[in-house]
């Protein structure tokens, strides 16, 4: 599905992408500086100052880096799409790496910018606190045989906290476990210790998940207006509450960027625009999806190239012109098997399953209602984000 035509993806990087002064060239744009001032009020810190004059050690602090990265992506997104609603007719898919998932969730209209800034402020503080509880860290494992890398990490009690595809895995655990890895690395792999405070995306972050879940329970969401990929498994998630739940759980779960890129391939993505601080994800995309055109939006000088990419690769996504509240979509590529026997679904009822090469993914009705029309037949091949059935919502089933 999706091949033979243009499909634009917008991606948002995660922690570690920031560098001292990366926001400085952006501050000459008057609207952007004003907007950044507002997001600074939400974050409780001066983001313009931190992104322009602060040193590497200051912006490496988890509690600072996370709000700074999300805010940078959000203000740049408004420069690319000054009328945000127009983006939904052009952007085929959105995704973020780790904390970048919050940026992507705002772009897809699941959360407001203000909600995201409060959540990222508390996420950064909670992850910094969890990191301080015990000495943990992360090391990039570059190259080597994939199966052997997994075996060696397991032997040392380490977790592949990020699988970034293109032969790049990030190992995470205690400093003692990481030291053992240094002494006994996988054959043919290079190790690069990362400048992070702790073992993100592992069980060591469980306290942060609990903190964030408390805040998330008070947040209202909307369903995504474009196909939004999840770091958990690369699937398209189309229920706003589910997006938020995954954002919370992801803090202590591995980032499967490899699976997100695999889904982009299945969607036939032809162009990828990376929001600032850009460069990391476009590098991974170029290796994993050769032939896909990329633009890393690093400074305002790149805005013309970004606009050109959007113009040439932007095309209406299948959710842009449909009332999303009555659409149930496929989470991934596979074969659809319909659940027999009803033309009404209550919220949470099983609609069917998508059988993939890896597993079976259940498809549930997020809001319930009665069937207006089935858009696919039982046994049909489906693509990620493909509409399956239209439901007419009813108060009794909402």
pLDDT of residue 320: 64
pLDDT of residue 123: 97
CATH number of the domain residue 344 falls in: 2.40.50.100
Burial of 303 (0-12, 13-18, 19+ CB in 10 A): middle
19 noted as active-site residue: no
Same domain for 293 and 353, yes or no, is no
Q: Which of 144, 203, 143 minimizes the C-alpha distance to 172?
A: 203
Q: Which of 390, 341, 384 minimizes the C-alpha distance to 368?
A: 390
Per the structure, how many domains does the chain have? 3
pLDDT of residue 195: 80
CATH number of the domain residue 14 falls in: 3.40.366.10
Do the domain assignments include residue 68? yes
State which residues of the chain have pLDDT below 70: 1-4, 320-325, 394-398
- The last residue of one of the domains, among 288, 313, 338, is 313
Token pair for 376: 């696919």
Do the domain assignments include residue 257? yes
- The last residue of one of the domains, among 247, 282, 313, is 313
392 noted as active-site residue: no
Range of the domain at 171: 133-193
CATH number of the domain residue 175 falls in: 3.30.70.250
| CA pair distance 267, 273, nearest whole angstrom | 16
Residue 19 CB neighbours (<10 A): 12
Return the sign of the alpha-carbon dihedral for residues 277, 259, 95, 288.
positive
Same domain for 279 and 138, yes or no, is no
Same domain for 62 and 18, yes or no, is yes
Q: Kind of pairing, strands 271-274 and 136-143?
A: unpaired
Candidate list 97, 109, 156, 201, residue with the active-site label: 201
Do the domain assignments include residue 276? yes
> Based on C-alpha coordinates, what's the Rg of the chain?
21
In the three-class reduction of DSSP (H, G, I as helix; E, B as strand; rest coil), residue 218 is classed as: coil
CA atoms within 13 A on the CB side of 143: 7
Count Cβ neighbours within 10 Å for each residue of 68-77 and write b for 16 or more, e otherwise: bbbbbbbbbb
Beta bridge partners of 193: 139
Do the domain assignments include residue 1? no
Q: Which of 161, 243, 164 minimizes the C-alpha distance to 203?
A: 161
Same domain for 241 and 380, yes or no, is no
Q: Which of 313, 263, 306 minimizes the C-alpha distance to 6?
A: 313
Same domain for 13 and 111, yes or no, is yes
pLDDT of residue 397: 33
Q: Are residues 262 and 130 in contact, defined by beta-carbon separation less than 8 angstroms?
A: no
- The last residue of one of the domains, among 279, 313, 347, is 313
pLDDT of residue 1: 41
Tallying the residues shown for the chain, one arrives at 398
Same domain for 328 and 307, yes or no, is no
Q: Which of 29, 10, 1, 5 minimizes the C-alpha distance to 87?
A: 10
Place of tokens 């606190």: 129
Token pair for 79: 């420069």
Place of tokens 């890398």: 149
| CA pair distance 287, 279, nearest whole angstrom | 13
Q: Are residues 24 and 299 in contact, defined by beta-carbon separation less than 8 angstroms?
A: no
* H-type alpha helices, the chain: 30-43, 47-52, 56-60, 62-80, 84-87, 100-107, 113-133, 146-155, 175-183, 206-216, 240-249, 257-266, 280-288, 303-313
Q: Are residues 313 and 270 in contact, defined by beta-carbon separation less than 8 angstroms?
A: yes
pLDDT of residue 321: 59
pLDDT of residue 7: 96
Do the domain assignments include residue 27? yes
Same domain for 12 and 24, yes or no, is yes
Do the domain assignments include residue 319? no
| CA pair distance 394, 195, nearest whole angstrom | 52
Q: In what order do the strands lie in the sheet with 344-345?
A: 327-329, 387-392, 369-374, 344-345
Q: Which of 297, 286, 259, 287 minimizes the C-alpha distance to 10?
A: 297
Beta bridge partners of 236: 229
Same domain for 41 and 58, yes or no, is yes
pLDDT of residue 2: 40
Q: Are residues 253 and 276 in contact, defined by beta-carbon separation less than 8 angstroms?
A: no
| CA pair distance 398, 43, nearest whole angstrom | 34
Do the domain assignments include residue 318? no
Do the domain assignments include residue 3? no
DSSP 8-state secondary structure symbol assigned to residue 223: -
């Amino acid at each position: 599905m999706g091949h033979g035509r243009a499909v634009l993806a917008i991606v948002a990087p995660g922690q570690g992408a920031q560098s001292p002064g990366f926001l400085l060239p952006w501050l000459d744009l008057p609207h952007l500086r004003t907007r950044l001032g507002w997001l600074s009020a939400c974050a409780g810190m001066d983001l313009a100052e931190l992104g322009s004059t602060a040193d590497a050690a200051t912006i490496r602090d988890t509690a600072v880096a996370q709000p700074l990265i999300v805010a940078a992506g959000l203000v740049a997104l408004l420069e690319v799409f000054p009328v945000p609603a127009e983006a939904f007719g052009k952007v085929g898919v959105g995704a973020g790496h780790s904390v970048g998932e919050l940026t992507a969730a705002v772009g897809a209209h699941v959360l407001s910018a203000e909600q995201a800034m409060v959540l990222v402020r508390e996420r950064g503080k909670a992850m910094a606190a969890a990191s301080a509880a015990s000495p943990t860290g992360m090391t990039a494992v570059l190259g080597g045989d994939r199966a052997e890398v997994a075996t060696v990490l397991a032997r040392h009690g380490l977790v592949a906290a990020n699988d970034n595809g293109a032969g790049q895995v990030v190992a995470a655990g205690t400093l003692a476990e990481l030291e053992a890895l240094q002494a006994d690395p996988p054959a043919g792999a290079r190790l690069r210790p990362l400048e992070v405070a702790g073992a993100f995306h592992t069980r060591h972050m469980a306290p942060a998940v609990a903190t964030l879940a408390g805040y998330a329970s008070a947040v209202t969401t909307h369903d995504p207006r474009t196909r939004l990929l999840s770091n958990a498994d690369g699937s398209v998630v189309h229920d706003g509450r589910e997006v938020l739940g995954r954002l919370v759980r992801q803090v202590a779960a591995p980032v499967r960027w490899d699976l997100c890129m695999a889904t982009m391939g299945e969607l036939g993505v032809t162009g990828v625009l990376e929001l600032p601080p850009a460069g990391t994800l476009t590098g991974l995309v170029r290796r994993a999806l050769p032939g896909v055109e990329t633009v890393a939006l690093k400074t305002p000088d790149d805005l013309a190239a970004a606009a050109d990419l959007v113009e040439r690769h932007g095309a209406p996504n299948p959710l842009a012109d449909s009332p999303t509240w009555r659409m149930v979509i496929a989470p991934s590529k596979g074969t659809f098997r319909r659940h027999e026997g009803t033309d009404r679904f209550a919220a949470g009822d099983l609609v069917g399953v998508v059988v993939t090469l890896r597993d079976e993914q259940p498809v549930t009705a997020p809001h319930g209602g009665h069937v207006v029309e089935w858009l696919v037949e039982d046994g049909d091949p489906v693509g990620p984000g493909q509409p399956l059935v239209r439901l007419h919502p009813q108060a009794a089933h909402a």
